[in-house]
Amino acid sequence: MFKKIEKQILEFAKDTGLTERREIVHGTLYVKLHEEKECDHFHKVIRTFYKDQINNEGGVNMYAVGDEFAFDFVPEDREAPVFSDEEYSGKEEMDPTDIDLTDEQESDLDVLMNLEAESKRGK
């Protein structure tokens, strides 16, 4: 992300008064909010700013990361549909069949899943 755009986003995030800490790492905005319950409101505000001032064909995805929130600036077609009327649970993109794995990776994944299942059963 260009430094000028990063600076605009950081200044806007600060000016909202909702954040106590903010930084951009590899194009992702990380913020510590004064109150975590404001995350959806901040998401909406930062998205509106991004679409109005930076890229009207873009979008913003939000992720919880420990006590912080991460905001990825993405093309509009890659934005999670949380701002539409569409029903969205957040799990739609988690389909493991969408991942292209090598045979070795698939085998390793099977072993890990079996170990996890066995540990839950107390083996």
Encode the chain (123 residues) as per-residue pLDDT tens digits: 588 999 999 999 999 999 999 999 999 999 999 999 999 999 999 999 999 999 999 999 999 998 999 999 999 888 987 765 455 444 445 445 556 678 888 888 778 888 877 777 775
Note whether 13 and 46 are within 8 A (CB). Answer: yes
Compute the distance between CA of residue 74 and CA of residue 114 in angstroms, rounded to an integer.
35
Tell me, what's the pLDDT at 43?
Answer: 94
In the structure encoding, which two tokens stand for residue 64, read together? Answer: 């919880």
Pairwise CA distance, residues 79 & 46, whole Å: 14
